[in-house]
Structure 1
Amino acid sequence: MITKDLVEIVRYENRFKNDWDSFVDNAENGTFLFHRVFMEYHKDRFEDFSLMLFCKGSLKAILPANVLDKTIYSHQGLTFGGLLIAPHCTDETYAFFWQHIKDYLSVKGFTDLIFKEMPAPYQRQMWNDDLSLDRKLVQQTSNFQVNLNDFKISKSKLKHYHRAAKNNFLLVEDDAFEPFWKNILEPLLSEKYQTKPLHSLEEITSLKKKFNKNIIQCNLYYKDEIVAGITLFVHAGFIVKSQYGASSALGKKLRAMDFLFIELIHKFKKLNFAFFDMGTATDASFPEGVNPGLMNQKKELGCRAYPQNIYQIRL
């Protein structure tokens, strides 16, 4: 039985980088997003407060986190956070680690811990945590994913796909992000939302060099002109996420995005991936915070909604 006197909580430092990354690679719920290089590409925006839990000198759990005032977040710069666990962890140990973290942070003078759970498809093992930490659900969003072992694309999407296939598109897996970023993604986000991609062209290019197999750019060309693109994040060979997807005005007329998504869904199904993640339909400009048109498009492509919870724990 693991007890508090056997567990040491240590704040992450650069000297632990290799230990941290090795743990992520072998954790039950690890993904490349938790590698230190990925977490730190925007380290100027967040003050890191990641934690490592050792038991008799062996690393058993990590919490990717940042601090803002008296609140700990896991993690504001990542799609999701939470506790990463070593293989064969029991429900009791998982709950114990959370309680120990709560006590540690409370002693340090923090008032709240906020974490965004991984959607269920990312968790190869689910724990019955029953944290008993007075956690409060402060937000719930829907994460839309295609279960590649059981999905159905709508008849209308398939009709558009078959029509679009007659356009003789060229689908290219491209190491260069500039054609998509400069010609489609940045202009679209600027014009429609007055915003920019979360990753600059320089940042995504740098991350690609460090995570070559995990970050893939797929571009669609029509008569030598790029008309659509999707940036994919590939997680541990079992789930692929559409991080960015957009088309040009011509691409919209040609139904390029329908064609591109369906091509990629079938590609990763053949590669024995389990899920194709299309993200959320969150949009603050709509009354309920969800873009109904975008949500419907994702469902028509075969997506189901998986809850993604954000919890607050008073310390």
Structure 2
Amino acid sequence: MINTYTLERYTSKNKKEWDDFALKCMQQHFFFQRDFLEYHKDRFKDYSLIVRDDKSKIVALFPATISAKIITSHAGVTFGGLLYRPRTFVQKVIVILSLIEEYYKLKGVFKLNYKVTPYVYKSEQGEEDVYALFKNDWKLIRRDFSTIININNTVSIDRSRNKNLKIAERGGVEVRESNDLSEFWNLLNINLNKRHTVNPTHSLVELQLLKTLFSKNICLIGGYRNGILLGGALLFITERVCKVQYSVNSEEGRKYKVLDAIFMSIINKNKLDFIDFGHSCENNGSVLNVGLSRFKYQFRGESLVHDFYEKDLRTLP
């Protein structure tokens, strides 16, 4: 079976067939389209692979970047790993993963890092790659704790969140979709610098570019009072999931509970299977931000973990 697959490095001439295959994969996200993988190509050196069968048809994709002889799948996206179609048999995934390991080892790579795609971003449970990682002796190195809302969950939202919504409504807070990424990003940047001395992962220029490239998948929800933006949430929208990629509250916004009003609006209008509030961890998952995770939990959140694996290729024969 091993000899029935060939691996090749992705080049720009493969863009259309890559994008076409990615759209049909069990792992579903616009992250995997080449326009997204390459919007920040000045920061990451691409080393993605295409896996073909003996008829030259694509059977899997491996979005990846390389730095200091370490391959990551993919350093420029939240998660990724091996992309394959629904109903792919587990042994096939095990073999392909082994071939990927061998391919990179022959290219002088020291280590592989693998970001598992959480199940909510898959068209089926699809954990063949997770078993393949175990079978191939990969090591779990990080686990982030995230919070999601399942649309079928009938648990009530905590009374404190409903109370804060009423405060926002009495204070004249208006929640609506917005196109002003600049105003939102400036508020986000100020907040992150003040509270954590860091900048947003995406620059304003990058967010504006992504909004242009993926206009149907990126949406900004703002919370306004007297026409002034006091808080907001930037959403990444896929077929099954509404992901809160960024959220921010100004000092004035906290006073009027703007973020509560925004989240309640997102929940009430959501028609997708899941809302993903993102992780509540620091230090590569080793520290749980209890206050943040409790805040998300009170919106009837459930737990979701996001796993990261690595393999030292120098141990291979």
Question: Runs of 5+ in structure 2 lacking a partner?
Answer: none
Check if 1:53 corresponds to 2:51: yes
Q: Percent identity?
A: 30
Q: What is residue 239 of structure 1 aligned with on the other side? A: 241
Check if 1:215 corresponds to 2:213: no
Q: What is residue 172 of structure 1 aligned with on the other side? A: 176
The number of equivalent residue pairs is 307
What per-residue deviation string (whole Å, max 9, x for no partner) do you get for residues 258-300 of structure 1?
11101101111xx2x01100111123499x5221111111111
> TM-score, normalised to structure 1's length?
0.93
Check if 1:200 corresponds to 2:199: no
For residues 6 and 28 of structure 1, the distance between their equivalents in structure 2, rounded to whole angstroms, comes to 22
Query: Following superposition of structure 1 onto structure 2, how do residues 26-65 of structure 1 map, counting pairs within 5 Å?
Result: 26-55=24-53, 56-65=55-64
Aligned-pair RMSD on alpha carbons? 1.7
For residues 167 and 85 of structure 2, the distance between their equivalents in structure 1, rounded to whole angstroms, comes to 48
1:104 to 1:284, Cα distance in 2 relative to 1, 3 A: closer
Contact 2:44 2:65 in 1 (8 A): yes
Q: CA deviation at 1:242?
A: 0.5
Check if 1:144 corresponds to 2:144: no
For residues 140 and 134 of structure 1, the distance between their equivalents in structure 2, rounded to whole angstroms, comes to 17
Which aligned segments of 4 or more residues in structure 1 are displaced greater than 6 angstroms? Answer: none
Q: CA deviation at 1:172?
A: 2.2
Query: Following superposition of structure 1 onto structure 2, how do residues 295-306 of structure 1 map, counting pairs within 5 Å?
Result: 295-306=293-304
Q: What is residue 127 of structure 2 aligned with on the other side? A: 127
Q: Which of the numbers 159, 163, 166 marks the counterpart of 1:162?
A: 166
Query: Following superposition of structure 1 onto structure 2, how do residues 110-125 of structure 1 map, counting pairs within 5 Å?
Result: 110-125=109-124
Q: What is residue 85 of structure 1 aligned with on the other side? A: 84
Q: What is residue 229 of structure 1 aligned with on the other side? A: 232
Task: Read off the aligned partner of 1:108 and give its amino acid letter.
Answer: K
Question: Runs of 5+ in structure 1 lacking a partner?
Answer: none
Q: The residue matched to 2:75 in structure 1 has which SS?
A: coil
Check if 1:153 corresponds to 2:134: no
Q: CA deviation at 1:163?
A: 3.1
